[in-house]
Amino acid sequence: MKLAMLCGGHSSERPISFKSARSIVEALGKGFPLLLIDSGRSEVFTDFEAQMQKEPLPPSPSLVKGLLSHLENNGIEKVCIMLHGGEGEDGHIQALLDLCRLPYTGSGMGASFLGMDKGLSKMVMKYYQVPTPPWTILTKSKPLPSSPPLPLPLIVKPVHEGSTVGLTKTETGEQWEKALHEAFKADDSILIEQFIPGRELTLTVDETGAWPPVEIRPKKGLYDYESKYSKGMSQYICPAEIAPPLLDRMNRDALLLYEKMGLKGVVRFDIRLDDEKYFFLEVNTLPGMTSLSLVPMSFKAGGLSYRDLIERIFHG
Ligand SMILES: Nc1ncnc2c1ncn2[C@@H]1O[C@H](COP(=O)(O)OP(=O)(O)OP(=O)(O)O)[C@@H](O)[C@H]1O
Ligand SMILES: [Mg+2]
């Protein structure tokens, strides 16, 4: 089967996408036939170093046409989507491939869209009684409350962004307006969510079930962009120490959401744990896949190598 991998893209997570893709290519070895396409430029490439230096091109019909031509001219039969954030994770690329009847890895258009929208995801959680922090949504075009609509402290974050872009913890009334401003810079809809103190967990799920959870201990405050991508800024514990009855309930809820949201392939739920109470924050439908990322860590603790994980991604 002729395979292509889409990476790069237009989102702010373009560099991370290249890192995920490069780790996969290195693990597969040079001989593995895989066409690499940077969907942000509609370019076929082989040199990651050089490609990562390039800026994405402005989206246009000819850019989309270019991408489809590469798939068609190379007789591609299946696409591995290794894009993070933006159009690669929110269902747009998935829809394009659906229209071409080209199979691809991971969640379909609808589940990707649902996963990218933190507000809709939380509605599904609430409907199925999966614990999620109390929240409200504010829209840029409507009059905004001059004081916080939920008790402090709060988290203010864009509905559709990732990588903690535009996210602020608000502890005092004075910080409220600045937090709104920051979140609205990234999105027209923002989520105001109760801050959950305690531990930070992430749970990997795929068709076969839930994998050992990872506990993340950021050196400072939130698990933000810096804590995530700078070496030594966070400590990771896998499997996280969680009492079995609590872990069973958490796993059951994660599997329920996986099913009800129509998710496919390998996904990761971000969770807060306040003593004995857990709260689901969001799902990542295209989580990072560098050899140092959280999903490979979880698979390793479950007895599967990085190479095994990649094979699962390609077959999924
Ligand atoms: N309600 C909350 N209570 C406590 N901490 C929170 C809350 N919401 C977000 N955070 C912190 O901010 C981080 C990022 O939040 P979240 O996962 O919701 O958004 P994101 O920007 O999509 O994240 P990612 O970095 O995973 O793409 C969380 O991992 C957590 O550390
Ligand atoms: Mg997250």
**Are 36 and 184 in the same domain?**
no
Closest ligand (CA of 281): 1
**Is 163 one of the annotated active-site residues of the chain?**
yes
- 16-29 residue pLDDT tens: 999 999 999 999 98
Q: Give me the CATH number covering residue 59.
A: 3.40.50.20
**What is the per-residue pLDDT for 143?**
87
**Is 270 one of the annotated active-site residues of the chain?**
yes
171: containing domain: 135-194
**Is 13 one of the annotated active-site residues of the chain?**
yes
Residue 146 clears pLDDT 90, i.e. is over it: no
pLDDT higher at 160 or 131: 131
**Is 282 one of the annotated active-site residues of the chain?**
yes
* ∠ Cα 2 309 93 (to 5°): 50
**Are 182 and 232 in the same domain?**
no
Residue 232 clears pLDDT 90, i.e. is over it: no
Give distance in angstroms: CA of 216 to centre of ligand 1: 12
pTM of the full structure: 0.95
- 84-102 residue pLDDT tens: 999 999 999 999 999 999 9
**What is the per-residue pLDDT for 141?**
92
**Are 164 and 63 in the same domain?**
no
Q: 1 and 284 in contact (C-beta within 8 Å)?
A: no
Alpha-helical runs (H) found in 74-153: 86-89, 92-99, 109-116, 118-127
Ligand 1 atom 15: residue of nearest CA: 164
Give distance in angstroms: CA of 48 to centre of ligand 2: 26
Give distance in angstroms: CA of 164 to centre of ligand 2: 7
Residue 221 clears pLDDT 80, i.e. is over it: no
Residue in 282, 293, 298, 306 annotated catalytic: 282
Residue 144 clears pLDDT 90, i.e. is over it: no
- Percent above pLDDT 70 for the chain: 100
Kindly tell me the burial class for residue 23, based on how many C-beta atoms sit within 10 Å of its own C-beta (0-12, 13-18, 19 or more): buried
Q: 215 and 238 in contact (C-beta within 8 Å)?
A: yes
Q: Beta strands 78-81 and 3-7: pairing type?
A: parallel
Whether 189 is in the pocket of ligand 1, judged by its Cβ within 6 Å, is no
**Are 147 and 261 in the same domain?**
no
- 8-55 residue pLDDT tens: 999 989 999 999 999 999 999 888 999 999 999 999 999 999 999 999
**What is the per-residue pLDDT for 219?**
86
**What is the per-residue pLDDT for 227?**
76
**Are 20 and 85 in the same domain?**
yes
pLDDT higher at 42 or 166: 42
